[in-house]
Amino acid sequence: MDPFSSLIIQAVEAARTSLVKIERLKRDGKKMLPNGTGSGFFFSSDGYLFTNSHVIHNAEQLTVTLHDGTQVDAELIGEDQDTDLAVLKATASDFKPAKLGEASELMIGQLVIALGNPYGFHHTVTHGVVSALQRTLRTESGRLIDNVIQTDAPLNPGNSGGPLINTDGEVVGVNTATIMHAQGLCFAISINTAKHIAWQLIRFGKVKRAWLGISTQQVDLLPRVASFHHLKNRKALFVTSVESGSPAAKAGVNDGDFIIAFNDVPLESSDELFKMLTEDKIGMFQHLTVIRNTEKVDLRITPVEVKKRA
C-alpha cells in the first residue's frame, strides 16, 4: 500500500470509534419521528461528546449511533449558538474517545481528514488541506463564529459536528459548515475554542462571555512596523468588519485596523482574544491597542454580554 493511503488509514483508525451519528427526534402525536441528523464524537471516557449546536437545537429527543451500530439515548448538557458548539452525554462503553490535539500548531497546507455521516452515510472519510487559519465565519443565520479553520476537505449535510483530525489522529477542529454553491470552502471550529466552551458547558450548562462586535483574520505583522513600535508580536488580528452599533464601533475601531493587544497583553490569534473576553469584562472599560496606517492607537472599549439566542 502506498504511504499516503497508509497515513490516512492509520489516522482514521485512531479516531473512528469516537465518531457517532446523531439523530434529532420530534414528537408527532404519540410518536417520536426523525427530524434531522448530524455527527459528533466522544472526547472523554465518561461519555461526553461534541457536536454542533445547529445539529441538536430545539430537539425533543436525541439518539446516537455508535461505530458498531448500537443506538443509545443522549442528554444535552449545554449548547452555545455563538460558536455553534454543543456538548452531549451518552451512556456507552464500546468506544475510544478521540484524542484532542492543538489547533495552534496547524499550518496552512497541512493535510487534514474529516469524519462524519453526510446524508446519513455512516462513517464517511474525506481529506484535504488547511486552506486558512483564524477565520471569522458568518453563518446563514447571521452569527459570527471566530477561530475558524478553513479547509478544502469536502463536507456535506450530516458532516456537521464530526471531527477534523490531523495525520496523528488527533482532533484539531469540529466540522461546522460549508458555503453553499462554493467548491472547496469548508470550515471547522478550532478544538482550542471547543475545549474552552466544553469546560463552561459541563460546569454551568451555558457560556457567558463579553462581545466586541468585530470580524478578524490572523495575519503576519510587518517586521518594520513591529520593530518601529517595539512590539513582541509577529502576528496581529486584521479587522475585516465592524458590526454597526457594537462596542467596537462605539470605541472607534475601523475596518483595516491591526489589533495587537488587549489590556496591554499582546495578541497574535483570535483564540487568545476569545479567552480574554470573560464574564468579568462585561460592562467594564478595557483597552484595545491597534496599528492604524503604521500608527499605534489606544482605544477604550466596553464589551457587552452576548445575548442568548432563541
192-196, 204-208, 209-213: which has the minimum mean pLDDT?
A: 204-208
Cell 427526534 appears where? 25
Q: Are 198 and 221 part of one and the same domain?
A: no
Decide if 160 is catalytic. Answer: yes
Q: Write out the three cell numbers for 184.
A: 472547496
Lowest mean pLDDT among 134-138, 237-241, 273-277: 134-138
Least confidently predicted of 44-53, 112-121, 219-228: 112-121
Q: Among the three residues 175, 204, 233, which one is the final residue of a domain in this structure?
A: 204
**Domain co-membership, 189 together with 229:** no
In a domain, 18, yes or no: yes
Condensed to tens digits (0 to 9), the pLDDT of residues 266-309 reads 998 887 887 788 888 999 999 999 999 989 999 999 999 876 55
Residue 242 lies inside a defined structural domain of this protein:
yes
CATH of residue 121's domain is 2.40.10.10
CB 40 within 8 A of CB 88: yes
Tell me: pLDDT of 100 over 60: yes
Identify the domain containing residue 27 by its residue range: 3-90
Rounded distance, CA 134 to CA 220, Å?
Answer: 12
The pLDDT of residue 139 is above 90: no
Question: Percentage of the chain with pLDDT > 90?
Answer: 60
What is the total count of domains within the chain? 3
C-alpha distances in angstroms, 5 versus 9, 23, 167, 175, 265?
A: 6, 31, 11, 22, 44
Give the pLDDT mean for 21-32.
Answer: 86
Q: Which one from 18, 131, 160, 190 is the annotated catalytic residue?
A: 160
CA–CA gap between residue 50 and residue 35 (Å, rounded)? 19
How far is Cα 157 from Cα 192, in angstroms, rounded to an integer?
Answer: 24
Please give, one letter per residue, the 3-state secondary structure of the chain.
CCHHHHHHHHHHHHHHHHEEEEEEEEEECCEEEEEEEEEEEECCCCCEEEECHHHHCCCCEEEEECCCCCEEEEEEEEEECCCCEEEEEECCCCCCCCEECCHHHCCCCCEEEEEECHHHCCCEEEEEEEEEEEEEEECCCCCEEEEEEEECCCCCCCCCCCEEECCCCEEEEEEEEECCCCCCCEEEEEHHHHHHHHHHHHHHCCCCCEECCEEEEEEECCHHHHHHCCCCCCEEEEEEEECCCCHHHHHCCCCCCEEEEECCEECCCHHHHHHHCCHHHCCCCEEEEEEECCEEEEEEECCEECCCCC
Query: End of a domain among 189, 204, 219?
Result: 204
We report the CATH number of the domain holding residue 216 as 2.30.42.10
Q: How far apart are CA 43 and CA 272, in angstroms?
A: 23
42 φ/ψ angles, rounded to the nearest 5 degrees: -70, 135
Give the pLDDT confidence score for residue 164 in this predicted structure.
Answer: 97
Q: pLDDT tens digits for 42-77? A: 999 999 999 999 899 989 999 999 988 899 999 999
Annotated catalytic residue within 18, 54, 190, 270: 54
Single residue among 142, 170, 204 that ends a domain in this structure: 204
Its pTM stands at 0.75
Given a cut of 90, is residue 249 above it in pLDDT?
A: yes
Among candidate residues 39, 53, 80, 84, the one labeled active-site is: 84
Residue 220 maps to a domain: yes
Those residues with Cβ within 8 angstroms of residue 181's Cβ, 6 or more apart along the chain or in another chain:
none
What is the rounded average pLDDT of the residues 68-96?
Answer: 90
Where does the pLDDT of residue 310 fall: very low under 50, low under 70, confident under 90, or very high at 90 and above?
very low
